A and B are shown apart, each in its own frame.
Chain A
Amino acid sequence: MRAADVGGRGAWQGIASVLLLLCLWQIGAGWAESRLFPGPLTVLRSLTQEAAAGPLLYHLGITLARVGISFVIAMVIGTALGITLGRLAWLDRWLSPWLIILLNVPALVVIILTYVWLGLVETALLVAVALNKIPNVAVTLREGARALERDYAEVAQIYRFGPWTTLREVIIPQLAPYFLAAARNGLALIWKIVLVVELLGRSNGVGFQLQSYFQLFDVPRVMAYAAAFVLCVLLIELLAFTPLEHRAGQWRR
């Protein structure tokens, strides 16, 4: 779901459809009358309780920090790797089978092995998440590097741009859409994986909390954490990705 569809200029349909979903949910919950299927109002109550008196903000903060750090690591390494492979065909012939394997190793296997080899420590979490993400970024940026237009490189050469200007004016603008796509997909993947990694080997963070409340069958609190999480995603969409995409694409017809 694109943020522009939810809250963008004049996109009232997005807001209306979210409200409709909440209404249906509330009605459904009223029908079910079950502790295991709370309505949005109950969830909201748990959410405010957990945020005001409980540890929600602490765990959410920790998880967000983990997402942020592993996201940056994965983007930096994946981008560098992808661009290198896109430009050096011989290296690509050597490494592309590795990429395909890494892309297809189940995330859970990577997580378990990293915990086994590095121990149940913070570094292991960051490594496990980054390892799951790097191949995706690399493959996307490799595509971008292959698609660099020779025409513009020639313009840079004729008009003697120099390496720095060429990078800034010619290469980065062409890679930007690939980078943004990788970042958006990357964040979506990392959100999901971080929780699993927390659940398997850490004693704090949203993933850990979810597991605790799951064991107590405290569904309203499970949903409260999920809702807090979704709100964060929406905020990042609205505040970071939408404006960036708008800026990167304003020259298009």
Chain B
Amino acid sequence: MTIRLAIDRKVYAARAGAPERVLFENLSLELGDGEVCAIVGPSGIGKSSLLQIIAGLDGDFVGSITSVPQPVGYLFQTPRLLPWRTARQNLELVMFDRPERAGEWLEKVGLSGSEDVYPQRLSLGMARRVALARALAVEPKLLLLDEPFSSLDEETLRGMQDLVATHIARLRSTTLLVTHHWYEAAALAHRVITLDGSPARIVDDRRLQQARAAE
């Protein structure tokens, strides 16, 4: 299922002192089935906002979007684990058909031993890995990753990258990956989109030649 997004205009209204912000104008994007696309661009340009729109969480724009394949796995920029549920329970909640596999997922992201820890007592990097496990564990048809590897050390980062690569290859999930690092884009993506300007436009859209590591 191809995803077609056409934003004629996306505005954040002026509010409590903050002036009106025209975020996107005439931005369109087409994502093929199973395509892995990285989005790069300066901080504050609207990358996270774009993911919110594609996820269907923000319908407040002029334009159109085709329905997106389900289930969706979304790693938000902040972990957004339910703080009153332990790491394991957070995973069980999204894997309601086979909650017993939550433990395996925690192992995959290197967190066996932290199953019964509440999110506020996890470090940021640990919480982000639980959130990554949550996004992958639903076996997403559409996977949205908002800077998935920030706050990780080199070695853990490579492990997580491999994990993501393996799973998107297996599930053939259409994937959008927001990142600030070209090497991350190169390691995972078929295509890299660059956002720039105000209102933001796609200033560069290129396909990467080399196949991904996991394929």
Contacts and interface: CB of A to CB of B under 8 A. Distances in A.
A244 to B, nearest CB: 14
Contacts, number: 44
A173 B82 contact: yes
Nearest to A157: B57
A151 B57 contact: no
Interface in A163-206: 165, 169-170, 173
Q: Determine chain A's interface SS by DSSP, over half rule.
A: helix
Contact of A152 (B57, B70, B82, B118): B82
Residue of B56, B84, B93, B118 with most chain A CB atoms under a 10 A cut-off: B84
B55 A158 contact: yes
Contact of B94 (A154, A159, A173, A252): A159
Contacts of B74: 158
B123 to A, nearest CB: 12
B206 to A, nearest CB: 29
Nearest to B74: A158
Contacts of B76: 151, 154-155
Contacts of B72: 158
Interface in A4-36: none
A246 interface: no
Interface residues of A, number: 17
Interface residues of B, number: 22
B85 interface: yes
A152 B80 contact: yes
Interface string B35-66: 00000000000000000000111000000000
Given A158-B74, A160-B71, A169-B82, A253 B57 contact: no
A213 interface: no
B57 A173 contact: no
Given A158-B55, A251-B83, A151 B94 contact: no
A94 to B, nearest CB: 24
A25 B72 CA distance: 68
Nearest to B120: A253
B138 interface: yes
Nearest to A165: B93
Interface in A138-162: 151-152, 154-155, 157-161
Contacts of B84: 173, 251
The 8 A-B pairs at the shortest CB distance, nearest first, are namely A251-B118, A173-B84, A159-B94, A253-B120, A251-B84, A158-B74, A154-B57, A151-B80
